[in-house]
Chains A and B, each alone.
Chain A
Amino acid sequence: MKSFKPILTEHIHQKDCHTLSFYKSVGGYRALEKVLKMNPENVIQEVKESDLRGRGGAGFSTGVKWGFIPKDTNKPTYLINNADESEPGTFKDRLLMDKAPHQMLEGMIISAYAIGCHKSFIYIRGEFYKEYKMLETAIAEAVGNNILGKNILGSNYDLDVVIHRGAGAYICGEETGLIESLEGKRGWPRTKPPFPAIEGYLQCPTIVNNVETLSCIPHIMNYGADWFKSIGSEKGPGPRLFCISGCVNNPGVYEEPMGVSLKELIFERAGGIRNGKQLKAVFPGGSSSAILTADEALDVKMDFEDLVAKKSMLGSAGVIVMDETVDMVQACLNIARFYAHESCGQCTPCREGTAWLVKMLTRLVNGGGKPQDIDMLFEITDNIGGLIDSSKGSFGKTICPFGEAVAWPVRSFVEKFKDEFLEYLPQETVVA
């Protein structure tokens, strides 16, 4: 495979790459200058045509989302940059904020301009204190250079950017939970409709986009939708930051075109499995995605379509690699425990079901398992998040996708590594 020249992370290894002067020296804010002379409609159109899909996890078309903003609204519209990166195994947005904050800001300003927004928020994960300070500096630089504030670059367009720090809840990365939290309320996702584009922050039209998504925007505006579409997979193109963690030699963030093979990511970019061990399983898109067995992992392209075909998802592109030493039951319990801890407690199936899973798995791990527990694990996960295969039943049983986020990975562990679960059952209970 020919080597790919990074787009979003091209300059991250250079000295002072986070500064405004550096960013300008490599062509930064040129796209903004161009956009400010354009009709906002045309900006939306360009992004629509680029087929850019959200990099936060759900993978919804960015341009289409922007298009949902009502044209005739007399309310202010808001753009929220979702920087609440909380998905286990995901650490790309942090890198972008740390190393290329102006790229993200430029993306924000262009996006805000496109949707007619004059006040924009960055909702940043509370633990990202360093990144928060760096963003503060970057915003001050931008304001000082007429890139933010009143009459941006002499265009008559005004925009303020406000940073809001989260307080440590995974669910506040879900866009409506985030909006509630930003309003100063408990981070309970809202039932939809209405969708945020119609009634979001303070009941006004609101777009929530992820850091990486917004960072793609300046490049699309500089080089055009066709250029963007030429990168990687045909459906859902563009560059993508893959976060590789777990049992590999070189964990880290790797920028590759959409559709790169998982095999290449693990064995070439990340230097293969550490200590010469065998690959056992992979979360391809953060801990909310169904795990892939080694065989599946070696035969999958990292894009929206191929992973859905494998009954998993690209999600946040957080690749967590597990080798042969990993105890899959313990790993499953670990994941279940995370989700039980982070469940907001609003919807019945998620609040009660996640805790049930943890109690049952804990009992299993402690030697108290019963044969019927295995089937029960399937049933409970199905009842929380629904079946992946919707032809066999309903999915989407909770207000937000958290139900699926716990159900699908846990179910995939039991389904794909059932033997290991059976091994935990006390011997006398196993009927030959």
Chain B
Amino acid sequence: MPLLKIDGREIEVTGGTSVLQAALANDIEIPYYCYHPALEVVGSCRMCLVEVEGMPKLQVSCNTFVGDLPAERKVDSKYDMVVNTQNDLVIQERKNMLEFLLLNHPLDCPVCDQAGECYLQDYSFKYGNAHSRFEEEKRVRPNEYLGSQIVINHNRCILCSRCVRFTQEISGTSELYVEARGYDTKIAALEDKPLDNLLAGNVADICPVGALLSTDYIHKNRIWNLKKQPSICQDCSVGCNIDVFSQKDQVFRLTPRENQDVNGYFMCDIGRYGFHRFEEIERLTQPMVQKGETWEAIDWEEAIQKAADLMEKSNGKTAGVTSPYHTNETNFLLGQIFKDVWGSMPQILGEEITFPSGFRISADRSPNRKGMNDICEIIELDLDSEISSKAINGLYILDDGVDRELDDTWKKILEKMDFVIVQSYAMTDLAKLAHIVLPGLAPLEREGTMTNDRGRIQWLRPSLPVMGESKPDWKILSWIRKAMNKDEQDFTEINEVMKEMGEVFPAYKGLSFFRIGPHGLSLNGKASG
């Protein structure tokens, strides 16, 4: 294994490791712009120049590999390479590069969305000059739309070409290219093929400055006002790892969070902008019973008792409807209550897409079908027949919360029922047909585990505060269970539900949020469902 001496520290690296990678992995700061771990190395920004002892010139650390120094260049036989990242020569070079980068860069940080998470700002603060020596006119160009949701501010662009490489290497769509040359160089989108692929939003994330902007977030807030919550995306069964940025009860943006076992560094625009649909849907925050044409608000105690009474009267003829949109814990409790007949609402299928880089968007747009199937083992495909043969007269539905029209089969099923109880966070078409609605949490408020389509269990973490009288869905089901059988335990912590789930389903045994961690855990096929 190549041995590196960097700033006096000895570091052993694996073969093929660049100086920059070695530095990043060991908390040694080398500034860079054009390098991105998912993209081909181009070495063009020149910010990551370091001194490699024995080499006549400074070297770009992104393209200098620790084991590659020729023997005749070695200064110390003990090391494969001796690198200095903090000496005067290197620091001066960073100043010089920043001066060049800032010549034409506008000083519009106060209105720039990147401010606060801008590498140009950060490195200027650290290495840059306090004043500009540039007395000439700046290069000024108008903003342009590269696609329907991405705007480029050319004046801020430092031409690192990350976005262009992204469309070539990750999305494989190649809408972006570098136009003209020298001082006139700029990023452009093909006239007949704008940047509108399903991964387009990522270019705004990987832009190291405020040049590429998502129209969805532009001038909406300041980054330092937002709370950043690591969580997972709930818009398909891949389960991309994300960060949710919110202020009070409003989400402002989602960005991908690195997870090499799931989504790499990226997420798709379906998930990225998906949170807006929760803003449009009519929210339920209070238990209610239907009285003729109107709804009457009731308190939780009464609601739970009414629901339990209805089910008791049905004499075991109530079926549970599980949901692949809900957590494992919620589905588990539902499964424990209704042991005989389970169904689920029709699956919503989109297009299955795999990009050349391997990035996937699953056709199944629900986040937890695998987990639901693991935990509710026999979900009837033909619920209608099952209902007839077993004389089912009531339904307890865990609502998907998806804004959809009911199909004829479901209309028919619902008509046959003596009662329907819907647990939902929104007044969906389904909820409107309920006798009792029990308000659960909206997707971004939920906590629990979900199992993606590759059998990886992940931690869904709450990003928004709970609204009104809404309660966690597992908690509602725990109350229901207790109301129906006084001997059952009423769970106070979701960990307790997880523990019991593990007792019943061995594949889920021994789990905790701590063990699952920020990057999830492969169930290794143990939970074959």
Contact = CB atoms under 8 A, between A and B. Distances in A.
A396 B183 contact: no
B183 A343 contact: yes
B96 interface: yes
Given A346-B42, A352-B103, A359-B137, A169 B158 contact: no
B63 interface: yes
Contacts of B49: 394, 397
Identify the 5 closest CB pairs spanning chains A and B, nearest first: A345-B185, A396-B57, A191-B43, A355-B183, A343-B182
Given A345-B182, A354-B182, A393-B89, A398 B133 contact: no
B63 A191 contact: yes
27 contacts: A169-B181, A186-B177, A191-B43, A191-B63, A343-B181, A343-B183, A345-B178, A345-B181, A345-B183, A345-B185, A346-B185, A347-B45, A348-B45, A348-B46, A348-B47, A348-B97, A351-B100, A353-B100, A355-B183, A356-B100, A356-B136, A383-B96, A394-B57, A394-B58, A394-B93, A396-B58, A397-B46
A19 to B, nearest CB: 39
A340 B182 contact: yes
Interface in B150-205: 158-159, 161, 177-178, 180-185
A417 interface: no
Interface string A129-162: 0000000000000000000000000000000000
A340 B100 contact: no
A191 B159 CA distance: 16
Contact of A395 (B57, B96, B161, B184): B57
Interface string B409-420: 000000000000
Given A348-B158, A399-B44, 19 more contacts: A188-B178, A191-B42, A193-B68, A340-B183, A343-B181, A343-B183, A344-B181, A346-B159, A348-B159, A349-B46, A351-B183, A356-B134, A359-B137, A363-B135, A363-B136, A390-B56, A394-B49, A394-B58, A396-B56
Given A363-B136, A383-B96, A383-B99, A348 B44 contact: yes
Interface of B: 41-47, 49, 56-58, 60, 63, 65, 68, 89, 93, 96-97, 99-101, 103-104, 133-137, 139, 158-159, 161, 177-178, 180-185
A352 B157 CA distance: 12
A360 interface: yes
Contacts of A359: 136-137
A356 B103 CA distance: 8
Interface string A392-424: 011111110000000000000000000000000
Of B44, B49, B58, B135, most A-chain CB atoms within 10 Å: B44
B100 A345 contact: no
Interface in A372-398: 376, 383, 386, 390, 393-398
A401 to B, nearest CB: 11
Contacts of A186: 177-178
Contacts of A396: 56-58
Interface of A: 169, 171, 186, 188, 191-193, 340-349, 351-356, 359-360, 363, 370, 376, 383, 386, 390, 393-399
Contacts of B41: 191
A190 to B, nearest CB: 8
Chain B interface main SS type: loop
Nearest to A363: B136
B164 to A, nearest CB: 10
A376 B133 contact: yes
Nearest to A190: B42
Given A191-B60, A394-B58, A395-B57, A354 B183 contact: yes
B445 to A, nearest CB: 45
A360 B136 contact: yes
Contact of A355 (B68, B161, B182): B182
A352 B136 contact: no
A193 B63 contact: yes
Contact of B58 (A188, A344, A356, A397): A397
A341 B182 contact: yes
Contacts of B178: 186, 188, 345
B182 A348 contact: no
A171 B182 CA distance: 11
A102 B99 CA distance: 51
B101 A348 contact: yes
A343 B133 CA distance: 22
B96 A351 contact: no
A395 B46 CA distance: 12
A344 B185 CA distance: 8
Nearest to B133: A376
Contacts of A344: 181-182, 185
Given A193-B68, A347-B46, A397-B93, A383 B184 contact: no
A123 to B, nearest CB: 18
Contacts of A169: 181
Given A340-B182, A341-B182, A343-B182, A352 B101 contact: yes
Of B89, B100, B184, most A-chain CB atoms within 10 Å: B100
A353 B133 CA distance: 12
A222 B99 CA distance: 55
Nearest to B95: A383
Nearest to A171: B181
Contacts of A353: 100
Nearest to B136: A359
Of A348, A360, A376, A399, most B-chain CB atoms within 10 Å: A348
Contacts of B57: 386, 390, 394-397
Of A191, A341, A354, A390, most B-chain CB atoms within 10 Å: A191
A223 to B, nearest CB: 33
A347 B68 CA distance: 23
A356 B68 CA distance: 36
Given A396-B58, A397-B46, A398-B46, A349 B96 contact: yes
Nearest to A359: B136
Contacts of B60: 191
Contacts of A171: 181
A383 B94 CA distance: 10
A353 B518 CA distance: 44
Contacts of A370: 135
Nearest to A191: B43
A360 B45 CA distance: 23
Of A171, A188, A343, A352, most B-chain CB atoms within 10 Å: A352
Contacts of A342: 181-182
A399 B182 CA distance: 14
Contacts of B185: 344-346, 351
Nearest to B139: A355
